[in-house]
Structure 1
Amino acid sequence: MPKSCEAVYCTNHNFKRGEKLSFYKFPSRKKSPERRDKWLNAVQKLTKTGGRWSPGKHAVLCSKHFVTGAPVLQQNHPDYIPSIFPHKPNSTTKGLKNLKRFQRKEKLSKRLPFSHPQDVDEVPDPAPLEDEVMQPPEAEQTDGACQQNSMSTEESYKLKIQKLEEELLAVKQERNKCREECSKLQEDCQKYQEESDNLKEQLEGHCLSSKIVQGDDKKCRFFTGLPLSVYVKTFEHLKKFVPHATTKDSLSYEDQFFFTLVRLRLDLSFEFLAYQTGVAESTIRGYFWLWIDMIFYKLDFMLRWPSRESVVATLPSAFKVKFPRLTCIVDCFEIFMEQPKNLHARAQVYSNYKKHTTVKVFIACTPLGAVCYLSPAWGGRVSDVELVRRSGFIDPHLHEPGDQILADRGFLLHDDFATVCSAELITPAFTRGKSQLSAWDVEKSRGMSSIRIHVERVIGLIKNRYTILQNTLPVSMVKSRKGEADDDDLSSIDRLLQVCGILVNLGGSIVIKD
């Protein structure tokens, strides 16, 4: 009869060649219900609906999940329940340590004359035998014979008492030696435990994990791009919405969040992060997109279109003189991506300006330098004008009559904004049809460029702070991922850009408000 191991991620079966395996049934529900529950808790297998899995009559576990290769009925033995599983990191090492600890305890208990070292204090002193009533023999003897017999009996009892006292003294001496040995072993154990804790702290301080940024603002800014206080508060807010309770087994919530930001900040590959954490690459990839979606949905209020009142209240004084009704500064930027295999897709994403396959994004920032609008990503072939028209930015719900919008000279959308929103699009002057610009146009363009440069600083800040946008993105990070909500048409690159914009807004403004 074929047998397959029921452990998560275990593919062992009884037809496997080249390896000798044994298979053991789960404890009976009637005879050993407590041990059966402990086995199920150790396996941690769930049904398709997320409920607790219940083994069938022929469900088995292979010998690979036991330290000694087989279950043991002794309760304090490490193999009383299975402990080695693929989804639990370092479970093999922990199991061997538990087995060695158990063997040491067994060895120590055999060396001691008592079942427990503390029981040596409970040895009762032997009762004095001198007080016992000696019964003379019943046979009739003469007075001399009776007296001689009583003396010999008394001497024999004295010898027995002396022998017992000597044995008691030897037991007490052995007890004292055991006490001294136990105290010495406890001191050594405590000393080694302290050394182990110190080495563990030093190792954790040098390994890439969330603990490396605890209490260090400079390291936190380097690895995550956020100040330490913002990083801590952001994590505390997001961890309440983590949907999967089982993700703690392989990596803690804080490490998952930390490595997601490290991936964005330093563009470290999933393979490198998998080696650092000892977790499968597919698991790290899943954690990354889980937290990207978490930030995208739960912190979306950090990237919203501001109201006219908030813009006016935070408008820097340098802007009030030249553009008192300014609401935003707009521009487009491109990100390199891998060349798609499909020829039609390759033609859509090829940029003549960059001479490379790219995705183009339209961005708007407030006068204070906060990202307030990011369009969905388009292929690099699209023009800036077409991208703005298709992005939905020209909308009367976003702009009020009289609003001023700064843009580069390539955004020829003055009529569109004036017609739809009654807003004013301000761009630098052209030399088209003129030999040169007038002095007034030159001065106006210079003043405009000194303010419009802020959107380019914001774009540079996004790319420099989260370097994943500086390198060439794989096609898998650009297209939509399998398993996303059916009513959500945003692709992976759209979520990625929105998250980078949210994190940049969390990091503080690039424009100092005076």
Structure 2
Amino acid sequence: MVKHCSYGTCKSDSRYPDKLNGAKFIPFPKPKTNLEKCMRWIALCNRPQDQLNINKITKNTYICTKHFINNDGPTTEYPDPCDAKSGVIKKARHLPTRQLFTGNATCNSVSEASNITEDMDTSTTDFLHDIACQTSEQLFSSMDMLAMGARIHQLEKENQELRAALAAYQSKMQSVRSTSTQTNIHVENFSVESVSNSKIKNLFQYYTGITYLRFLMLISFLFPNGTNSDVNHVTYDSNREEVKRLPVDQQVFLFLCRIRNGLQVKDLACRFNLKIQSVSTILKGISKYMYLRLGSLSYWPHRSVIIQNMPSVYKEEFPNCVAIIDCTEIKIQRPSSLLCQSQCYSEYKSATTLKSLVVCDPNGSILLVSDLYCGSISDNDICVKSGFFQHLQSLMERGYLHPGDSIMADKGFRIEDQLAEIGLRLNIPPFASSAQSMSAANVTLTRKIAAHRIHVERAINQIKCFKLFSRKIPVSLLHSINEYWLCASLLTNFQDILVK
């Protein structure tokens, strides 16, 4: 390692030993072990601040012996180099000689000190008296004692002022907490009322995905007896007092903020002034309750209602096609189990995913959404396991569908035989043959189907606008992911229709 001298304008360099004239390199004192000595040497070297300072001192910082007495490095009597500015070298500083002093000197010192420290408290005066009345050795002068006493008095005064300020602040915080508890205020800055009355346009819809008016409609459906009713049908995992005090409309608002913007539990706890455990309890309880309430409804209207509200172009081209189906996938964190990794791996996404079947009407409104299955499942299998064919059969029996009605899908759904058993038809794009090119009629049919099948993809995109599903789902959330998925999917029906 090349060694350089850090002293003044010295240019000693270990690469040129013939120019050293027998000089050696002494390591610089380290700031961590000997800060005072390090600071002295830096000052004596008289180098610019940006070239030599405490932060520049490393194990490779040296000074040559040319700058010490007799060119022999530091000694006990001369431990420091000479001053680079004046050339003066100073001897080592020793502790003051212990001198005995008589009682008269002591008394004079005490009398002088007592005149200056009249305003000091008793403890400070006693401390100075103990120092001044030593009869064996004198370690401090009278001026040192006076300066020390004044400093102690000043620190005690500052300590008393800080204690008084701290006590006043604690008293003020206690009064604020007691007032908040008495008035039962849990949400001050972030609540349904504050967000709905905000001057920022569409702020409530930004946080929940629905307008404030439709939010009130949702609350009236979920809680027919009102939010202030003593009977709360939501079941919670734990019996927490602050969960009971928070109104149920605020709890639903909290849940919507969670799924719409993907807000973390700790963020929600801060916004709603709740504990993290209470937020988790609310999310579990509200998700289960909304899953049961929204899932109990029938979203598939009679075929006459669907045909009556079809877009005009759709009605001309596919008058008997009452629904459009497609599958979608959401990414999840990779499970630790190799079996789960294999089951959830999707070749289409090249990642571990969960897959769901989504059914919408020609206007893009959700008619049916299945639970989430492992990403490796095929489109045909998910139609079977989700009970889609049984649901169509029950609609046929009730007269909601007629024989000859059709379902639109893409080429991945080879379910013609299952639908034929029910009495329905399947509209999918025609397959191209490798032997001959596609006919003009088939090209036109493919374009028509693609133009209308885009509505189900737009409906799926509406669901994924709930940002909880636009990122990887953590494994810790998989136990309740079906509840979140169904609620987000059906809440899109509270938004404006896609096709107007």
TM range (shorter): 0.5 to 0.7
Whichever residue aligns with residue 397 of structure 1, its letter is S
Whichever residue aligns with residue 368 of structure 1, its letter is N
Q: 2:242, 2:274 within 8 Å by CA — same for their partners in 1?
A: no
Q: Secondary structure at the match of 2:288?
A: helix
Q: 1:303, 1:502 within 8 Å by CA — same for their partners in 2?
A: no
Shift of 1:231: 0.8
2:259 is the alignment partner of 1:264: yes
2:223 is the alignment partner of 1:223: no
Q: Secondary structure at the match of 1:363?
A: strand
Shift of 1:215: 3.5
Q: Residue deviations 1:429-465, cap 9 Å, x none?
A: 111334421111001110111111100000011111x
Q: Which of the numbers 376, 382, 396 marks the counterpart of 1:381? A: 376
Whichever residue aligns with residue 358 of structure 2, its letter is I
Give the unaligned 5+ runs of structure 2.
Answer: 1-169, 180-184, 226-231, 397-401
Shift of 1:99: 9.1
Q: Secondary structure at the match of 2:388?
A: coil
Distance 1:265 1:314 in 2: 29
Distance 1:92 1:289, change over 3 A: farther
Q: Which residue is 1:463 aligned to?
A: 464
Shift of 1:279: 1.6
Q: Residue deviations 1:41-68, cap 9 Å, x none?
A: xxxxxxxxxxxxxxxxxxxxxxxxxxxx
Question: 1:239-258 maps to which residues of 2 (within 5 A)?
Answer: 239=223, 240=225, 241-243=232-234, 246-247=241-242, 251-258=246-253
Q: Which residue is 1:288 aligned to?
A: 283
Shift of 1:250: 5.3
Distance 2:338 2:346 in 1: 14
2:495 is the alignment partner of 1:507: yes
2:343 is the alignment partner of 1:359: no
Q: 1:303, 1:505 within 8 Å by CA — same for their partners in 2?
A: no
Q: 1:302, 1:502 within 8 Å by CA — same for their partners in 2?
A: no
Distance 1:298 1:392, change over 3 A: closer
Q: Which residue is 1:404 aligned to?
A: 406
Shift of 1:92: 9.2
Distance 2:312 2:292 in 1: 34
Distance 1:92 1:473, change over 3 A: farther
Q: Which of the numbers 391, 416, 421 marks the counterpart of 2:418? A: 416
Whichever residue aligns with residue 251 of structure 2, its letter is Q
Q: Which residue is 2:27 aligned to?
A: none
Q: Which residue is 2:6 aligned to?
A: none
Q: Secondary structure at the match of 2:413?
A: coil
- Name the % identity: 28
2:485 is the alignment partner of 1:497: yes
Q: Residue deviations 1:271-326, cap 9 Å, x none?
A: 11112223221210111121112222223355522222322222222111111111
Distance 1:303 1:355, change over 3 A: farther
Q: Residue deviations 1:158-193, cap 9 Å, x none?
A: xxxxxxxxxxxxxxxxxxxxxxxxxxxxxxxxxxxx
Distance 1:356 1:496 in 2: 21
Whichever residue aligns with residue 195 of structure 2, its letter is V
Q: Which of the numbers 344, 349, 358 marks the counterpart of 1:349? A: 344
Structure possessing the higher radius of gyration over alpha carbons: 2
Question: 1:18-417 maps to which residues of 2 (within 5 A)?
Answer: 95-96=174-175, 204=188, 207-215=189-197, 218-239=202-223, 240=225, 241-243=232-234, 246-247=241-242, 251-300=246-295, 304-395=299-390, 396-399=393-396, 400-417=402-419
Give the unaligned 5+ runs of structure 1.
Answer: 1-90, 101-199, 480-491
Q: 1:406, 1:427 within 8 Å by CA — same for their partners in 2?
A: yes
Q: Secondary structure at the match of 1:397?
A: helix
Between the two proteins, the alignment pairs up a number of residues equal to 305
Q: Residue deviations 1:397-446, cap 9 Å, x none?
A: 2354111110001111112211x211110101111334421111001110
Superposition TM-score, scaled by structure 1 size? 0.55
RMSD, aligned CA: 2.6
Distance 2:475 2:312 in 1: 44
Distance 1:98 1:281, change over 3 A: closer
Superposition TM-score, scaled by structure 2 size? 0.57
Distance 1:284 1:295 in 2: 16
Q: 2:371, 2:486 within 8 Å by CA — same for their partners in 1?
A: no
